Amino acid sequence: MSRESSRATYNKLELLKLMYLSREGDRREGVLLRQGKGWFQVAGMGHESLAVIAMQLRPEDYLFPYYRDRAMMLAKGMNNGELARAYFAKRNTSSGGRQMPGHPSSREKNIWSVPTPTASNLLPACGVAWGMQIQGVPGVVVATTGDAASRQGEFYEAVAYAIERKLPVVFVVEDNRYGISTNTDKFNPFKLGIFSKQIGLVHVDGRHPDNVWVAASESIDRARDGAGPSVLVCEVDRLCSHTSSDDHRVYRPPVEISEMMERDPINTVAEELIEAGELTWDAWEEIRHQIDQQVDQEYRDAELEPDPKASELMDHLFGAEPNASEPPMESGRKWRMVDAVNEVFREGLKTDRRYVFFGEDIEDPKGGVFRLTAGLSTQFPDRVFNSPLAEATIAGVAVGLASFGMLPVFELQFVDFSGPAWSQITQNMATIRWRTFGQWKCPSVIYSPYGAYLPGGSIWHSQANEGSFAHIPGLRVVVPSTPEDAAGLMWTAMHSEDPTIYLIPKHLFRQQMEVPSNLQPVPFGKARVRREGQDVTLVSWGNCIEPSMEAAAKLDGQVSVEVIDLRSIVPWDFETIAESLEKTGRLVVVQEDAESCSVGQMVLSKITSTAETFSHLLSPPQLVSRADVHIGYNPIYEYAALPDTQRVISAIRATMED
């Protein structure tokens, strides 16, 4: 074992007390639940010996636990009173009562917020480890998961990325042989021989803390020495049912339950200490009695703590609105959106070393498939990186980097490929601030080319799906349509405390457009009147601004159309539309996304359900949209699906028919 002087031993009696404290907390919660006090419980009985891993961590190290790691969280510095309040979902907890029991966190102790989706904590753990590496600061990240979760794709992506970058991370697989009721022996990749010792793979009987101490010491030292990650597979027993909603007696043979109870790690350690003369049975009985009383009092106190307030439901969904400032680009000349965005990226990298860029093919000489990052990796090789072909890695690492205090600006090569990243975007990126009551935040930008009107894209390169992202609470969503708005919105997004989904219309971003001399900041939630009019209000964004402007021009002299570029989808500018409607009394919304459950329908719903704006309407509002259909490869299919100038004109004329 390396560093024997610093890793040679641990206080086994103190560990025993901590293990029993964890066990008694689990037991007490089970009793309370049966008394009708509480709604749910997930216990870590049998996993307590793994606490010795966290005992080896320093204050600057991070722990990314999963929901059976009660003992490990106690060892990293949380106290049982916090966990008691979390069981009752009280306001004075790390989640403000928003997370289930077994899902606490601590910003102060560097214990990341536990997500329920299995293995979804691992890629963010890589992000924190990468942040340590980029900044050259010491630290180790320990990330844990169950054996069943080792079949999740994100588990493999995390291990692969950690090996690629030689990240200071230790993955701990807690192998209790069950994924709820399913025995995992035939699914477990470590039992299938998929992994080799070349990755720092260590198997250990985790039922005894001595074994775990030695193996964890070597893995943690390996990470501290810059030798890269390890995968520590710890065989443990789950001495309880999966959760309070489960009964393991239904699917586990009685003899199996009996055998594992006989090797309970708490009893094993206590008996060893007694046999060694370091503890007596009477002293052990007294220790348990004192802990029982402590836990009893802490849960009594926790039950009396204030509950969350319904009035605070929306608190911490977003941070403060970013202060928008004039984008860093030359005014009074022609720009392409792609060049304007590149200029903003360059200025960000110049002015703040926290910015990190990551995406497929974004390094030179390619500079991104659309050249959005051209020249950046040459000028800033320490902060502009190619990613693997793994969208979940891109999104998950962004979450971790942001949690560590960096400012990730990451590219998804096409928004059509956001599917593999969906879990990280929706389960971690969008929820981390809200689910931790503002303790953790995720300042990040995920930008992606999107949309059609560019023949040959087919199903996989032509999606306009802003409605999907807009549906997820906690995400800001923007779609520019001019170079100055592209630069302004990106500059605002890069200075936001929250995650922003930034969608760049491919049809528009190589068009040369004149940029006005009086550049203005572009805040979130502020639409732009692109053309003034008196008869009809037309609202659009992205690629559909082009047919909207063309339709308004063709009707010039017949119908006076006011064209509003929404720009910001979440939040969106109701007030500007309402002000226009007061003047025109007629509304058309034009969008590229499919119709059902779309942003266009959201706008129409709000307008027609608000008395003020409904009273302004002189005719039924119209929605011009792609049908609920995919984009075909042959341009005939593509243009048959998309809104065009003639359809927009027809909708405008329909609103004029009183």
Catalytic residues: 461
**Cα–Cα dist 12/78, whole Å:** 19
Give Dmax over CA atoms of the chain in angstroms.
100
**Cα–Cα dist 261/440, whole Å:** 38
**Cα 515–521–522 angle (5° rounding)?**
90
* 571 contacts 492 by C-beta, under 8 angstroms: no
CA 113 from chain centre, in angstroms, equals 11
* 360 contacts 389 by C-beta, under 8 angstroms: yes
Sign of torsion over alpha carbons 441, 446, 452, 457: negative
Beta strands 499-505 and 444-450: pairing type?
Answer: parallel
Rg (CA), the chain: 28
What length is written for the chain?
658
Classified as helix, coil or strand, 408 is strand
**Cα–Cα dist 535/548, whole Å:** 15
Closest CA to 542 of 501, 584, 503: 503
Closest CA to 310 of 623, 577, 542, 97: 97
Peptide bond into 189 cis (omega under 30): no
Q: What's the token pair of residue 242? A: 């999966």
**Cα–Cα dist 184/614, whole Å:** 58
